[in-house]
Amino acid sequence: MNLIDTFKISKKDIITIVGAGGKTSLMYSASSLLRKDYKVLVTTTTHIYIPDKSIYDEIIMLNDFPNENYHSILQNNKNGVYVIGNHIVNNLKIKGLTFEMLDKIIHYFDIVIIEGDGSKEKSLKGWNDLEPVIYPKTTKTIGVVDISSIGLDINEENIHRVDRFLDIINDYSTNKVNIEHLEKLILNKNGLFKIYKGEKILFINKVENINNKTNALNLIKNIKCKSSSYINRYIYGSIFTNEYIKG
C-alpha cells in the first residue's frame, strides 16, 4: 500500500509528526503525494531546514506581512504544497508557527502536516520538558522510530539529548542501543508519545533488510503484549524504498 492509504490520510486531517529517524522525509513524502489533489500546509511548531524548491509550490513567511496581509495570498484555491513559517533564521532554518498563528490559517488548507519536534538529524532522541510541541487540533500524531538504530553506540553523535534518552530507557549499564530500549522509548510516559493528540500511529522506519524487518515485527509484538491499546495503528517500512506495511 502507498503512504497515503496506509496512514489513512484524508481531507481535513491535521497531522503532527514526532520522533527521530525520518520525520522530515515522511512529511515531504506525504505532501508530494498530496500536492496534485489537495492544498497542503507543511510547517513546524519548532524549526525545520529550508526545503529544496522542488518540494513546495509556495513558501511564505508570515512575519514578512505586516497587519496579517498574508490572508489575501492564502485565500486562493490552488492545490499544491505551501511551506509556511514565521521567519527564516540565519538563511538556514524556518522558525515555526505558534498555535495562535495556526488557528488563523489552517482553514485555508485541505490537509495540514506539522513537524512537532527536532532531532538534529540524529537516529534517536530524548525529549526536554517542552517537547514535543503538539498543536491541540491535531487529528493524527505519528511517532517515528528508526529500527536501524539498534546496535548504535549510545552517545551524542547518534542520539539527540542523550541524557534524556538515558533517563527514559533507565539503563546505564550498556553502551549500545537494543530493542528493549526502543520499547521503553515508545511506551515510557516521557517518551515518543509523551504529548499527543488524536490517533496515535507508530511508524517504524528504515526496514530495508531481513534483520531490520525481524526487529520491527518483534518490537511491534512486544509493545502489543505489554500495552495492547496504547497505539492505535502500527506501520513499518521505509521512506527510502517507499514501502509501508500495516503491523
- The residue type found at 50 is I
The pLDDT assigned to 182 comes to 98
Average pLDDT, the chain: 96
The stretch 135-149 carries a mean pLDDT of 98
Share of the chain above pLDDT 70, in %: 100
Reply yes or no on whether the pLDDT at 173 is more than 90: no
pLDDT digits (tens, 9 = 90+) for 29-50: 999 999 999 999 999 999 999 9
Q: Is pLDDT of 122 > 90?
A: yes
Q: CATH assignment of 3-246, given 1.20.120, 2.30.230, 1.10.3470, 3.40.50?
A: 3.40.50
Span 163-167, mean pLDDT?
96
Q: Are strands 111-115 and 14-19 parallel, antiparallel or unpaired?
A: parallel
pLDDT average, residue stretch 86-107:
96
What's the rounded Cα separation, in Å, for the pair 26 and 88? 22
Each residue of 52-83: pLDDT tens digit? Answer: 999 999 999 999 998 888 998 999 989 999 99
| pLDDT tier, 229 (very low <50, low <70, confident <90, very high otherwise) | confident
Nearest to 159 by CA among 172, 173, 143, 176: 176
Can you give the pLDDT at residue 172?
A: 87
**Is pLDDT above 90 for 230?**
no
Q: Where are the alpha helices (DSSP H) in the chain?
A: 3-7, 23-34, 71-74, 99-105, 162-169, 179-187, 210-226
Mean pLDDT of all residues in 8-19: 98
Inter-residue long-range contacts of 25-32, CB under 8 Å, 24+ positions, other chains counted: 25/239, 25/240, 26/142, 26/144, 26/203, 26/205, 26/239, 27/113, 27/115, 28/55, 29/3, 29/239, 29/242, 30/3, 30/4, 30/113, 31/55, 31/56, 31/81, 31/113, 32/81
Q: What is the pTM of this model?
A: 0.96
DSSP 176: B
Alpha carbons 65 and 81: distance in angstroms, whole number: 20
